[in-house]
Chains A and B, each alone.
Chain A
Amino acid sequence: MPKRYRDIVGDGGSNILAQVEEFQGRLRARMARVRKKVAVTSGKGGVGKSVLTANLAAILAADGRRVGVLDADLNGPSMAKLLGVRGQRLRLSPEGVHPAEGPLGIRVLSTDLLLSEDRAPLTWEAPTQQDAFVWRETMEATALREFLADAAWGDLDLLLLDLPPGAPRLPTLAGLLDLDGALVVTIPSEVAGLVVGRSVELARTHGVRLLGLVENMAGYLCVACGTLGELFPGDGESLAEASGLPLLGRIPFDPRIAWCADRGRPYALEHAESPAGQALRALAARLNDLLWEEGAER
């Protein structure tokens, strides 16, 4: 009688299960020193997730929180640029790989710090690059796990994870670590609302705690006269209502946000008193309350 799968004892010595458990053990040990882990997601590209993440990190760090940022957008990394750490060398010690250090001691890890040049895409060694695409997703999930488990994050109050556009990365992360929640970023447009709605449903399917919705580019701030004009015709409130999420903040678009982003200087610190700066600060305060005040200690 031929052997069935269940008749085969072990895996020829590789002990794959133990190896995977060991990975998970290292990840748990590393993340045990991080009090809160929050993903910033949207489902759609171009809504300003990364800029929002960088500014929230800066505000919370300025308030005395120990903050880390993991650029989980492996293919389109921008956090190194936004937080002014491009070109920094990552120090290696027995503790692991030390993240780059941004303004106010924000610890940053991004594939941008590892790639050879500005235009270098994220590719993996393979006999042919056509082959590489077949297992690319697995490779990226493993890379994320290594960034989380092998980086010497140290003791952090908050680790923000800046996700790439699209819905699938959030379930991947939720499978890797115990997320304390996710912020959903949108802009007031019907297209964004449609895509965000889908990613909200997917997040719920995977049991991710959605902290709320952030409406970015909620109006255009004229830096000359200070008036706030409409930028997109939609509104985040009805989208929040339709998604069953609280609307945590509405951030107007200020052209200086892009100027600061290009120079790696957090806008919210440089223009704290502007309407967008105040809106970002209010959002950070709301996030702070959700994570630490409103019975959130889990």
Chain B
Amino acid sequence: MRFDSVEGPEEGSVGVTFGCPRCGHRVTLLTNPMETQLVRSLGVKIGGREVPPEPLEVVRTSLARQREGALEVEAEGGVVWVEAAEARLQRLPPLARPMARMAISRYARERGRTTVTPELMDEYRARMGF
């Protein structure tokens, strides 16, 4: 069986899917919330990493009661965020927003895009995950 994908965490649980490389048969293992949290607390990513972790990844994604505006990022030139993309960004925890903004803006610029849209965010998420 080969690793295929990770879903979640949702309510603390992660679904890790493995597939048979020959016939395509897939099996999903569900973790219990305690195991999931333990693995997450180590800062490792189930399924491996394609890109290095962003700064303070665990703190930003796991710290409760975060201060608004604790982190600031210099605006990326030449990239405009449309309203719907901005609204979606606001759904992230306060400490995660500046990092996501910086990473997605950089991703857009590297691809010659001048506008960040929800579709571009989906594209980024599919490639990098955030």
Binding site for B on A (CB under 8 A): 12-16, 18-20, 22-23, 26, 89-93, 96-97, 111, 113-117, 120-127, 131-132, 134-135, 138-139, 142-143, 145-147, 150-151
Binding site for A on B (CB under 8 A): 1-3, 11-12, 16, 18, 33-34, 37-38, 41-49, 52-53, 55-59, 61-74, 95, 98-99, 102
* Contact residues in B for A151 (Cβ distance below 8 Å): 55
- Give me 5 A-to-B residue pairs in the complex whose CB atoms sit less than 8 angstroms apart, sorted by A's number: A13-B48, A14-B3, A15-B49, A116-B67, A139-B41
* Contact residues in A for B65 (Cβ distance below 8 Å): 115-117, 120-121, 123
Interface centre among A117, A123, A127 (most CB of B within 10 A): A127
CB of B38 to closest CB in A, whole Å: 5
Let me know if A93 and B74 touch, CB within 8 A. Answer: yes
Let me know if B45 and A131 touch, CB within 8 A. Answer: no
Let me know if B95 and A146 touch, CB within 8 A. Answer: no
Let me know if B71 and A92 touch, CB within 8 A. Answer: yes
Given contacts A114-B70, A115-B66, A124-B63, contact A19 B49 (CB under 8 A): yes
Let me know if A90 and B3 touch, CB within 8 A. Answer: no
Given contacts A91-B73, A127-B12, A138-B41, contact A97 B56 (CB under 8 A): yes
Within the complex, which residue of A13, A26, A124 is in contact with B2, where a contact is CB–CB below 8 Å?
A: A13
Let me know if A146 and B56 touch, CB within 8 A. Answer: yes
Let me know if A114 and B3 touch, CB within 8 A. Answer: no
* Contact residues in B for A13 (Cβ distance below 8 Å): 2-3, 47-48
Within the complex, which residue of B12, B45, B58, B59 is in contact with A114, where a contact is CB–CB below 8 Å?
A: B59
CB of A3 to closest CB in B, whole Å: 13
CB of A31 to closest CB in B, whole Å: 15
Let me know if B63 and A16 touch, CB within 8 A. Answer: no
Let me know if A116 and B68 touch, CB within 8 A. Answer: yes
Let me know if B55 and A114 touch, CB within 8 A. Answer: no
Let me know if B41 and A90 touch, CB within 8 A. Answer: no
Q: Please provide the 7 A-B residue pairs with the shortest distance between their CB atoms, ordered closest to farther.
A: A13-B3, A150-B55, A127-B12, A138-B41, A120-B65, A139-B41, A123-B64
* Contact residues in A for B3 (Cβ distance below 8 Å): 12-14
* Contact residues in A for B66 (Cβ distance below 8 Å): 114-116
Let me know if A91 and B72 touch, CB within 8 A. Answer: yes
Within the complex, which residue of B16, B41, B67, B70 is in contact with A142, where a contact is CB–CB below 8 Å?
A: B41
CB of A22 to closest CB in B, whole Å: 7
* Contact residues in A for B58 (Cβ distance below 8 Å): 139, 142-143, 146
Let me know if B41 and A14 touch, CB within 8 A. Answer: no
* Contact residues in B for A135 (Cβ distance below 8 Å): 34, 37-38, 41
A114-B49 Cα distance, complex, nearest whole Å:
26
Given contacts A126-B12, A138-B42, contact A92 B47 (CB under 8 A): no
CB of A56 to closest CB in B, whole Å: 26
Q: CB-nearest residue of chain A relative to B54?
A: A150
Let me know if B59 and A146 touch, CB within 8 A. Answer: yes
* Contact residues in B for A143 (Cβ distance below 8 Å): 58-59, 63
Let me know if A125 and B63 touch, CB within 8 A. Answer: yes
Let me know if B69 and A114 touch, CB within 8 A. Answer: no
Q: Other CB < 8 Å A-B pairs besides A12-B47, A135-B38, 7 of them? A: A14-B47, A15-B48, A19-B49, A113-B70, A114-B95, A131-B37, A135-B37
Let me know if B71 and A142 touch, CB within 8 A. Answer: no
* Contact residues in B for A23 (Cβ distance below 8 Å): 43, 53
A89-B70 Cα distance, complex, nearest whole Å:
5
* Contact residues in A for B43 (Cβ distance below 8 Å): 19, 23, 142, 145-146
Let me know if B74 and A12 touch, CB within 8 A. Answer: no
A132-B56 Cα distance, complex, nearest whole Å:
19
Let me know if B55 and A92 touch, CB within 8 A. Answer: yes
Let me know if A14 and B18 touch, CB within 8 A. Answer: no
Within the complex, which residue of A14, A90, A92, A127 is in contact with B45, where a contact is CB–CB below 8 Å?
A: A14
